A and B are shown apart, each in its own frame.
Chain A
Amino acid sequence: MSVLRAEPEGAEPRERFDALSWLTTTDHKRIGILYVCTSLFYLCVAGGIAILIRTQLSRPENTFVGAHAYNQLFTLHGTAMIFLMVTPFAFGLANFLIPLQIGAPDMAFPRLNALSFWLFLCGGLVVFSGVLTSGGAAAAGWTAYAPLSVLRVAGGSGQDLWIVGVLMVSIATILTSINFITTVFIYRAPGMTMWRIPIFTWEMVATSLLVLVAFPSLTADLAMLLIDRHLGGHFFDPAGGGNPILYQHLFWFFGHPEVYVMILPYFGVISEIVPVFSRKPIFGYTGLVLAAFAIAGLSMGVWAHHMFTTGAVSNPFFSAVSFLIAVPTGIKFFNWIGTMWGGSISFETPMLFSIGFLINFLIGGITGVMLASPPIDFDAHDSYFVVAHMHYVLGGGSLFAIFAAMFFWWPKMFGVKLDEVLGRWTFWLMLVGFNVTFFPMHLLGLAGMPRRVFTYPDAGPLPLLNAISSSGSYLMLVAIVIFAINVVVTARRRVPVPADPWRANSLEWATSSPPPEYNFLKIPPIRSERPVFDARHPELAAETAR
């Protein structure tokens, strides 16, 4: 007990904000916080764009924005959410948590870590700087399919800025993955065997390996695109012996593993939070870890399920591998239910968002299995059904886990606890708003509405379903505003929190909130994946050791 409560002797009083020290920092915790704050900034931008998109679509034949503006908006929305929000938030969280969870003083390569952050921040700004050019920002979608993205008219120099910006972010992601893997393999504290590292850290190992396989494919694809645009290349031009399908292969060889880069870390978040609020160890630790690697491995063999309607790939093969991913994902679901089973479950905000994750992600998972069937894809592909599916995975899944993570680790990062009452409001508004926004999109797809359209005819169920969807998006906006108020209110209240406010499990809760620069003064003995629980319940430590 004393280990947990003790403040490190050298703990300074609240220090003054020093901008230069943040700009030059190589401390993994500060870089993690910079990552998290930057990704939240991009969340606000991309979320604001989403509100403009839903406003345009709230009525048929609306003229709120024109076709060219709309195409830029959905391109920037997708690019920002995927490359600048969901992926880097996970990397920021991992930056903050991995050294703490394995009992290390910092990352393996602190300066490389700082380089990654600045590349990410600047890459995002380069993408968005397209709006300042005369032709506007990139307007070929976040997938930037060739030959559309090769045409000089498609965004002009905005498209070039997009390519360069995404390349910078892509390289940053690769560098950080090398850093994560090295840190976990080399820098673990004594007693922290691989089979005792927390699930979140495990999921980041799987994620980092996926990045190392997948992102070079994106880097190559974008370099080829740039060569086709400016150096007379013909990689994707059939008139010059090239092939548009090649772009899609390289893109989705990155793109589908990227889906798991955006969800595995959040599986880790849920696997950390559910045991704490169920007051039980994670159920089936080994199975969860193996499932993560099964997902990572299989995800490299499913890319062409994005190409079932091209008529140029072996549909049965990619369909079969895609179906198989449902098995390890199912294992994870049952392990989370097994963790809650027989527990003593309380419903603080991080747990509420985790339950929201389970509710939403299950729908995204089921529609994912449907879309793995090519005959269904023949209808649903490129329709709003797919838009609904991937928002259930990334919005209902990852974004809910992002909020769960923020409410859970906020005390550790900033030394203050977010307000629970405002947190509950955020949760319920998000849950209702999210489902009102995205559930009708399944029906829109079945009714024949293609994705990426700035307008639609006043026919059938389209106007009603779109109006419902847009109204839900405003509810989500209110939820985000309440969250922002929460951040300001709790920052001003300045009520300090103890080292372990949730009675949690993993090593980051053994040091003060926020942790000192060197992380740990003393590390408790590590005999399982939850050393902080063992220190709190020494009478059970022998029984639960692994």
Chain B
Amino acid sequence: MNAFGAWSPPTTQAALLRGDWLVFLWTGLAVGAIVYGLILFALLRWRKRDDVLPRQFRRNNRLEIFYTIVPLVLVAVLFGVTYAVERPVESVSQHPDLVVRVVAYRWGWQFTYPAQRITLDSNGSSTGPQMVLPVDRTTRIELTSVDVTHGFWIPAFLFKRDAIPGLLNRFDLSPDRTGTFYGTCSQFCGLGHALMHFSLRVVPDAAFERWAGSAARAS
């Protein structure tokens, strides 16, 4: 299990996603520190000391406008950051180096490489099939489901997409680091949901060719 793989993002998309995470994390910490600071200050400074009734003020229009405008500007900036990250992550290459079709079912995965004539399947195992991808190449995933809605999630890639019956979802994965990564179903799909895992191995080009040759013969 890969704990928050963000510190060394294994795909070009994950590097962008990690950037978005960090912007929001630091902004959230800053906002939290300011608001907690104000609350703590108020509680300590104005805790009850005597029975004198404090001044009964009700409003301060300038202050209220100020704390309406500032958050508005802040969320506008955050939306800009979001949009700048989302576009490249969601864009799909016209000429991917490899296409893998993923079909989710209760409770397993089927990975098909149409050009390489390879089919991998969970065949009832909870560890699931292992998808092999070449490093520094763009792979297009075509994702769907044959029964209920599932979710294709690779935590280290900071990415998931739902597998929905009747809908074909396309997205690109561009791994730039070799390694083996854990994947799982993220959308609750019944009894076997918790055991619907798979894995993903990123290898150099030559190793991928060798693997594809032997896997094609096996399937």
Contacts and interface: CB of A to CB of B under 8 A. Distances in A.
Contacts of A362: 32, 35-36
Contact of A327 (B28, B72, B166): B72
Interface stretch (B74-82, B113-121, B130-138, B201-209): B74-82
B218 interface: no
Interface residues of B, number: 81
Nearest to B68: A331
A344 B188 contact: no
Which of B1, B31, B90, B184 has most chain A Cβ within 10 Å?
A: B1
A537 B55 CA distance: 13
Given A244-B166, A331-B64, A373-B78, A378 B89 contact: yes
A61 to B, nearest CB: 10
Contacts of B182: 448
Interface stretch (B17-25, B96-104, B172-180): B17-25
B211 interface: no
A245 interface: yes
B59 A315 contact: no
A309 B162 contact: yes
A471 interface: no
A190 interface: no
Interface in A443-471: 446-448, 450-457, 459-462
Contacts of B83: 316, 319
A383 B186 contact: yes
A1 interface: no
A226 interface: no
Nearest to A536: B53
A340 B46 contact: yes
Contacts of B147: 147, 151
A381 B160 contact: yes
Nearest to B127: A457
Tell me whether chain B's interface is mostly helix, strand or loop, or mixed: mixed
A71 B24 contact: no
A458 B61 CA distance: 56
Contact of A285 (B47, B58, B194): B58
A366 B33 CA distance: 11
B42 A340 contact: yes
A154 interface: yes
Interface in A523-546: 537, 540, 543-544, 546
A312 B59 contact: no
A342 B46 contact: yes
A143 to B, nearest CB: 8
B194 A455 contact: yes
Interface residues of A, number: 92
Nearest to B84: A375
Contacts of A374: 82, 86
Interface in A48-65: none
Contact of B78 (A68, A323, A461, A546): A323
Nearest to A381: B160
A452 B82 CA distance: 28
A342 B47 CA distance: 9
Given A344-B48, A453-B194, A151 B78 contact: no
B108 interface: no
Contacts of B169: 310-311
A375 B89 contact: yes
Given A141-B188, A337-B39, A370 B155 contact: no
A369 B78 contact: yes
Nearest to B151: A382
B164 A310 contact: yes
A182 B18 CA distance: 50
B56 interface: yes
A451 B160 CA distance: 14
B186 A381 contact: yes
Given A148-B149, A284-B64, A319 B59 contact: no
A505 to B, nearest CB: 11
Contacts of A245: 164, 167
Nearest to B5: A448
Contacts of A344: 46-50, 52-54
Interface in A316-361: 316, 319-320, 323-324, 326-327, 330-331, 333-335, 337-338, 340-347, 355, 358-359
17 contacts: A140-B190, A238-B167, A244-B166, A287-B68, A315-B90, A319-B86, A323-B79, A327-B72, A327-B75, A331-B71, A334-B64, A369-B24, A375-B86, A382-B187, A383-B186, A448-B3, A450-B185
Given A320-B79, A373-B82, A375-B89, 11 more contacts: A147-B149, A148-B188, A284-B59, A323-B79, A327-B72, A330-B67, A340-B43, A362-B35, A366-B28, A378-B158, A540-B53
